[in-house]
Chain A
Amino acid sequence: MPSHQDIAYLSATELSCGLNDKQFSSVEITQALLTRAEEARYSKLNAYTALCPDIALERARASDNRRAKGETLGALDGIPVGVKDLFCTEGARSQSCSNILKGFIPPYESTVTQLWRDAGAVMLGKLNMDEFAMGSANIHSADGAALNPEGLALTPPLDVVPGGSSGGSAAAVAAGLCPIATGSDTGGSIRQPAAFCGITGAKPTYGRCSRYGMIAFASSLDQAGVFALDVDDAALSLQAMCGHDSKDATSSPRADESFMHYRDMTLKGMRVGVPKEYRRDDMPAEISALWDKGIDFLKDAGAEIVEISLPNTEYGLPAYYIIAPAEAAANLARYDGVRYGVRSDESFSSLDDMYAKTRNIGFGKEVKRRIMIGNYVLSSGYYDDYYVKAQRVRRLIANDFTNVFQDVDVLLAPATPGEAFSFNEQRDPMMMYLNDIFTVPASLAGLPALSVPAGRGASGMPLGLQIIAPQFEEAHMFATAKAIESRAEFRLSRY
C-alpha cells in the first residue's frame, strides 16, 4: 500500500505504468491522494473546495475491476484527477465558487468531465477558483483564497497567490495532490496560474472542447483545458477532453482531430515568431531574460527565430475587459434565486426585489464590478462606442495573428508580467487586470496556447513561457513546449 509521499508527483503516465505493472491499484493511489489532501499541511492550500471520496473510490474500484479483466480503457483509466468547480459534475457540488450557487448539485455532467470519466479517470474532488472565473489570483472565491505551494516551499515560507482563476487546480497539481486537473481559460485562467505554480497548463483552440456543462463566464472566450506535471501528460489529458459535441453550438467540426503526432515532430526548420510588441518597456529584467533563454533553447533545437509584429497588441486588454464583462453580464443574468442556488431570505416587495436582494448576497465584489461594466458597455448610447468598437478591435487582433502565421509556425512569449505576488500585496482591480496582458490576445483570437515552466524569478518563484499556435495546430504547440521543457529542466520544489 503506497503512502501519499510515494506517489505524489508521479505523472499520470507514470501512474498508468505503475497500475499496469501492478505496483499499486487505483483504489490505493486514490486513497493515498485523498489522505494527502486532508492533511493540514496540504488542506491549508485550500486547493480543494470539496473532496468526493465516495465517488472517487467507487470509480477507482470500477477501474481496478476493468484492469483485472484486461479491459483497461487507456492511459487515464484509474488516474486520480481534480476538477475545477465550474464544471457540472453529477452528484457533486458545482458552484463556480460563488455563494449564489451554494448547495447546487447538478443532475447532469459536463461533456468535458464525462469524457474524462469515460476514459476511466477518478475524480478526487472539486477545485477552488475565482468566483465565476473572474480573477487572476484565486482571491475572489466564496470558498476562501487558495495558496501557492511553491511559495510555502520557500525559506522562509511565503503566502503567495497561485494565480487565477484556476488557482485551486494549479495549486493542487503543483502540490502533488493530483497529477492532472481540469481548468478553464477565458483570458489566461489556465496559463497564468500554471506559470505562477511551476507546472504546464494548456488551453486548446476555441471549439475543441465542449462548453456544455461549464458554468459560463464569457461564451466566446471560455475554453476548458488542463494542468499537468509535464508536457506529455498535458497533451494526452487535453486530447482526452477534446471532441465534437452536438450539445454545444460552438463546438468545431474539427474538434475530433488528433494532435498527438506532436511526439513525432522535430523543431528543425520550425519557424518561431517572437512578437516585438510584447517586449514592453516596463518588463522586469528576469522576464526578458527568461524569454531570451527560451529563444536560445528553441535555436538549440533547430528552430529559426523570427521577430514578428502584432501591431494591435496594446488594445487587447481593454477590448477583453469590455467583451468579457459584457458576455458575463448576459450569462449571469440567470442567477436570480428562481431555478437553482440560493434565494435571499429577506422579504420581497416584488420579483425584481427578490432578484436584486438574491444577487446582492450571492455575488462577490469582483463579479458585481464586472456585471456592471458589462451592462454599462452594452447600454443604450454606449453600445457602439464600447462593445461594437471592442469587437472590431478583436478582429484586428485576430487578423494580426492570421497574418504572422503565414510566415511562422508558433509564437514564443512570456506567460505573465512577473512572478506570483504575495497574498498580502494590496492590488486594485485595474492592477489585477494587467496580469492578463500576455494571455488575453490569444484568447480573443481563439488560438491554442500553453504555459510551460522555464525558470525561477528573483524571489525563487516559478516563471513560465507561453507558446501560441494557429487554430488547430496544438501539435506544433506541444512539440515546441517539449523542446523548452527538456532544456529548461525546471524542477518543482515538491512542497
Chain B
Amino acid sequence: MSLEKKDVHSIAFLSRLSLDSEEEAHYARELTVIVDWFEKLNGADTAGIEPMISPVEHAMVLREDKVVTGDLGSVLTACAPDAKYGYYAVPKVME
C-alpha cells in the first residue's frame, strides 16, 4: 500500500508535526516500505483470538481517594517554558 505525500500530511497533522514538502515525500517513501511489511501479519490466523493489551492480567488497581502529595503547583510550573501566576502560560487560545 503506497503512501502519498497527502497521506503523510494527514498523519503529520494527527501527530502535531508540520513537515515541509520534501520531508513529506521522504517520509512517504519510508513509511510505505514499513507499512507494506506490516502486511506480513495477514498470514497469522487470529480468528477467535482476543487482543492482548498488556502482559498484566490483573484488574485495574484502586486506591483511597485521598490527597497524598500536597501542593506541588509551584514545583511543577517551575519546569515549564513559561508560567505566570501559578499557571502554565501559552499563546492566546481564543479571540
Residues of A within 8 A of B (CB): 104-107, 205-207, 219-220, 246, 249-250, 252-253, 312, 314-315, 318-319, 321-322, 329, 333, 336-343, 348, 350-357, 359-360, 363, 368-369, 371-373, 375-377, 379, 386, 388-396, 398, 428-430, 444-447, 471
Residues of B within 8 A of A (CB): 8, 11-12, 14-19, 27, 30-31, 33-35, 37-38, 40-41, 43-44, 46, 49-56, 58, 60-61, 63, 72, 75-76, 78-82, 88, 90-91, 93
Residues of A within 8 A of B88 (CB): 338-339
CA distance A329 to B34 in the complex (A): 16
CA distance A355 to B54 in the complex (A): 30
Known contacts A207-B55, A379-B11; is-contact A372 B93 (Cβ 8 Å): no
In addition to A246-B63, A360-B19, A372-B11, 4 A-B residue pairs with Cβ atoms within 8 Å of each other are A340-B81, A360-B17, A396-B44, A428-B33
A380 to chain B minimum Cβ distance, whole angstroms, is 10
Q: Is A392 touching B51 in the complex (CB atoms < 8 A)?
A: yes
CA distance A445 to B52 in the complex (A): 9
Q: Is A252 touching B11 in the complex (CB atoms < 8 A)?
A: no
B92 to chain A minimum Cβ distance, whole angstroms, is 9
Main secondary structure of the interface of B (DSSP, over half): loop
Q: Is B91 touching A393 in the complex (CB atoms < 8 A)?
A: no
Q: Is A207 touching B52 in the complex (CB atoms < 8 A)?
A: no
Q: Is A368 touching B49 in the complex (CB atoms < 8 A)?
A: no
Q: Is A319 touching B17 in the complex (CB atoms < 8 A)?
A: no
7 A–B contacts from the bound complex (CB under 8 Å): A333-B16, A348-B91, A357-B18, A368-B17, A372-B11, A396-B46, A428-B33
Q: Is B30 touching A336 in the complex (CB atoms < 8 A)?
A: no
Q: Which residue of B lies closest to A248 (CB)?
A: B61
Known contacts A343-B82, A372-B15; is-contact A395 B30 (Cβ 8 Å): no
Residues of B within 8 A of A444 (CB): 52
Residues of B within 8 A of A371 (CB): 15, 17
Residues of A within 8 A of B37 (CB): 318, 321, 430
Residues of B within 8 A of A207 (CB): 55-56
Considering the complex of A and B, which 5 residue pairs feature the smallest CB-CB distances, nearest first?
Answer: A446-B55, A391-B51, A392-B46, A395-B52, A343-B81
Q: Is B41 touching A390 in the complex (CB atoms < 8 A)?
A: yes
**Selected contact of B11 from candidates A319, A321, A375, A394, CB within 8 Å:** A375
Q: Is B90 touching A354 in the complex (CB atoms < 8 A)?
A: yes
Residues of A within 8 A of B35 (CB): 373, 376
CA distance A206 to B16 in the complex (A): 31
Residues of B within 8 A of A396 (CB): 44, 46, 49
Residues of B within 8 A of A343 (CB): 81-82
Residues of B within 8 A of A368 (CB): 15, 17, 27
CA distance A376 to B13 in the complex (A): 11
CA distance A342 to B18 in the complex (A): 17
Residues of B within 8 A of A393 (CB): 41, 44, 46
Q: Is B49 touching A392 in the complex (CB atoms < 8 A)?
A: yes
Q: Which residue of B lies closest to A107 (CB)?
A: B75
Q: Is B79 touching A369 in the complex (CB atoms < 8 A)?
A: no
CA distance A21 to B43 in the complex (A): 61
